[in-house]
């Protein structure tokens, strides 16, 4: 028996579920190993001067907001409070330090890896294919970096993935509950919830009667999910507004959130292309707006966003031992292929359910209907929002897309021997990309990259 045959035989004896748990724990260990980098040189000074805190990216907004909330003052009301409440728990348990700031993101971001495995295994009909999708998500550079710092996105992504999982399982109440909690984490979570609602409407539309009858039938369970999620969100805002005296009632708070985010617009006074725009501030300074097409097209990919970068020069050689980037990866560049593939099957499944009354086949139809809705609301929607409304958009928003994109790519590349070889190559490239752009590098890591002429 050859080596390859023995390897395949050995792999078949491995439990993919236990492997997914081990992978999740490994990601947790990686996060914990770098959680305190960077740290403030003077923790006492950090409490009074945020410029001395070594905050990574939007920690500069959210940690000060949480400090105010801990002192009983409403803050950062443009976003719902749940993610910040989780940060409050972290800071209450571990102190006002990097561990306290980041532990909520680390735990929820890591939990997303396991939830994605469960969702992917369900949609792909195979735990091994689910594991492949999980690897693509877990080792995406931007996803890993965001899920290790004190921002709102990791809890939001976890709850949206959980809601998507319960949706595919057909659990309306659990779907609505988790979606409502997701709405309490970050304003943009509404996009993920809209995708889930569309999926519910389509999956519930099959059966007897006219197409109009089937549409009406699909609306009923969708309203259940919508009503429960809205009730959870409003209740959460009501508790926050009452405790902090932020707004007279939740609807006033929601109006503020909508008005605030509608006002975040850019201009293109400095010119632009379909891929970027040059916003000119009042003081004449220019800021580049990376438009959505630049997030997913390799030839025009946006320049990596330096969330926190430290450069060191030794004997004339400059390297970056600490470099948290928000950056596209080879996985992101497959978006339009996955989108075209999923649209073909997703629209066909929706047509059969609504027009013909055929029940959606499991798991394939469910995968493509959810996938096309997810990509439409969490990515495609930003194209008109940016180009027509000139609303600020940022590439790290794509973090919410990566989990379902991973599932879609695995589905596309699991249909034959050649496709599976491409999938294996994609996994290897993703791991390589992660190794090169790992945010905190040891001396050995830098030496290895340098010896191969790779970016350091």
Is 241 in contact with 253 (CB distance < 8 Å)?
Answer: yes
pLDDT for res 359: 82
Is 404 in contact with 195 (CB distance < 8 Å)?
Answer: no
Burial (CB < 10 A; 0-12, 13-18, 19+), residue 67, is: middle
Cα(382)–Cα(388) distance, integer angstroms: 10
pLDDT for res 32: 97
Residue 191 lies in a domain: yes
| Two structure tokens written together for 279 | 């916003």
Give the model confidence (pLDDT) of 56-95 as tens digits: 999 999 999 999 999 999 999 999 999 999 999 999 999 9
Lowest mean pLDDT among 11-20, 134-143, 277-286, 374-383: 11-20
Query: Given the DSSP bridges, would you call strands 305-314 and 276-280 parallel, antiparallel or unpaired?
Result: unpaired
| Two structure tokens written together for 454 | 């790779």
What pTM did the predictor assign? 0.94
pLDDT of 4 above 70:
no
Residue 443 lies in a domain: yes
pLDDT for res 452: 87
Cα(353)–Cα(207) distance, integer angstroms: 8
Lowest mean pLDDT among 200-209, 234-243, 388-397: 200-209
pLDDT for res 9: 61
| Two structure tokens written together for 364 | 């394939």
Lowest mean pLDDT among 116-130, 201-215, 234-248, 264-278: 201-215
| Two structure tokens written together for 123 | 């949609």
pLDDT of 18 above 90:
yes
Q: Residue 19: which residues within 8 A CB-CB, separation 6 or more?
A: 131
Give the model confidence (pLDDT) of 307-363 as tens digits: 999 988 887 788 899 999 999 999 999 999 999 999 999 889 888 887 777 788 878
Residue 240 lies in a domain: yes
pLDDT for res 264: 93
The alpha helices in 170-249, defined as continuous H runs, are 172-183, 189-203, 211-244
Residue 318 lies in a domain: yes
Chain-wide mean pLDDT for the chain?
92
Give the model confidence (pLDDT) of 88-121 as tens digits: 999 999 999 999 999 999 999 999 999 999 999 9
pLDDT of 406 above 50:
yes
pLDDT band with cut points at 50, 70 and 90 for residue 39:
very high
pLDDT of 2 above 60:
no
In degrees rounded to 5, what are phi and psi of residue 280?
A: -105, 120
Residue 285 lies in a domain: yes
| Two structure tokens written together for 412 | 């596309």
Which of 98, 96, 130 shows the shortest CA–CA distance to 115? 130
DSSP letter (8 states) at residue 265: B
Is 310 in contact with 321 (CB distance < 8 Å)?
Answer: yes
pLDDT of 144 above 80:
yes
- CA–centroid distance for 109 within its chain: 9
Dihedral of the CA atoms 222, 225, 227, 232 (nearest 10)?
-160
Which of 148, 58, 84 shows the shortest CA–CA distance to 112? 148
Domain count, the chain: 1
pLDDT of 7 above 90:
no
Residue 250 lies in a domain: yes
Give the model confidence (pLDDT) of 181-220 as tens digits: 999 999 999 999 999 999 998 888 876 666 676 666 667 7
Is 427 in contact with 135 (CB distance < 8 Å)?
Answer: yes
Residue 227 lies in a domain: yes
Residue 456 lies in a domain: no
pLDDT for res 423: 93
Q: What domain range includes position 398? A: 3-451
């Amino acid at each position: 028996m050859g080596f390859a045959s023995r390897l395949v035989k050995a792999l078949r004896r491995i439990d993919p579920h236990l492997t997914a748990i081990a992978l999740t724990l490994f990601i947790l260990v990686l996060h914990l190993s770098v959680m305190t980098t960077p740290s403030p040189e003077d923790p006492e000074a950090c409490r009074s001067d945020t410029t001395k805190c070594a905050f990574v990216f939007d920690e500069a907004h959210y940690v000060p907001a949480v400090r105010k909330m801990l002192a009983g003052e409403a803050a950062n009301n443009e976003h719902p409070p749940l993610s910040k409440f989780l940060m409050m728990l972290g800071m209450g348990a571990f102190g006002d330090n990097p561990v306290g700031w980041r532990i909520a993101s680390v735990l929820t971001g890591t939990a997303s890896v396991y939830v994605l495995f469960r969702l992917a295994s369900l949609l792909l009909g195979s735990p091994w294919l689910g594991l492949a999708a999980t690897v693509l998500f877990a080792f995406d550079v931007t996803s890993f970096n965001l899920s290790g710092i004190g921002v709102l996105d990791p809890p939001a992504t976890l709850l949206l993935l959980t809601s998507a999982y319960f949706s595919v399982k057909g659990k309306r109440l659990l779907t609505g509950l988790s979606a409502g909690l997701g709405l309490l984490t970050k304003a943009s979570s509404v996009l993920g919830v809209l995708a889930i609602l569309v999926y519910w409407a389509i999956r519930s539309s099959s059966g007897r009667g006219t197409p109009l009858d089937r549409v009406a039938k699909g609306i009923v369970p969708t309203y259940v999910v919508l009503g429960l999620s809205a009730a959870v969100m409003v209740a959460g805002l009501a508790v926050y507004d009452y405790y902090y005296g932020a707004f007279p009632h939740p609807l006033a708070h929601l109006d503020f959130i909508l008005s605030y985010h509608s006002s975040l617009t850019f201009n293109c006074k400095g010119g632009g292309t379909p891929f970027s725009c040059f916003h000119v501030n009042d003081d004449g300074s220019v800021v580049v707006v990376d438009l959505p097409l630049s997030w997913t097209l390799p030839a025009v990919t946006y320049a990596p966003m330096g969330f926190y970068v430290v450069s060191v020069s030794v004997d004339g050689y400059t390297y970056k031992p600490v470099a948290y980037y928000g950056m596209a990866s080879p996985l992101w560049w497959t978006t339009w292929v996955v989108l075209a593939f999923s649209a073909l099957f997703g629209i066909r499944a929706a047509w059969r359910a609504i027009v013909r009354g055929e029940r959606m086949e499991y798991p394939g139809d469910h995968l493509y209907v959810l996938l096309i809705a997810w990509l439409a609301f969490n990515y495609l929607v930003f194209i008109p929002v940016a180009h027509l409304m000139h609303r600020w958009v940022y590439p790290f928003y794509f973090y919410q897309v990566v989990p379902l994109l991973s599932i879609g790519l695995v589905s596309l590349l699991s249909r034959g021997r050649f496709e599976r070889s491409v999938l294996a190559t994609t996994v290897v490239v993703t791991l390589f990309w992660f190794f090169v752009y790992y945010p905190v590098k040891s001396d050995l890591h830098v030496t290895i990259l340098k010896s191969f002429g790779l970016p350091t």
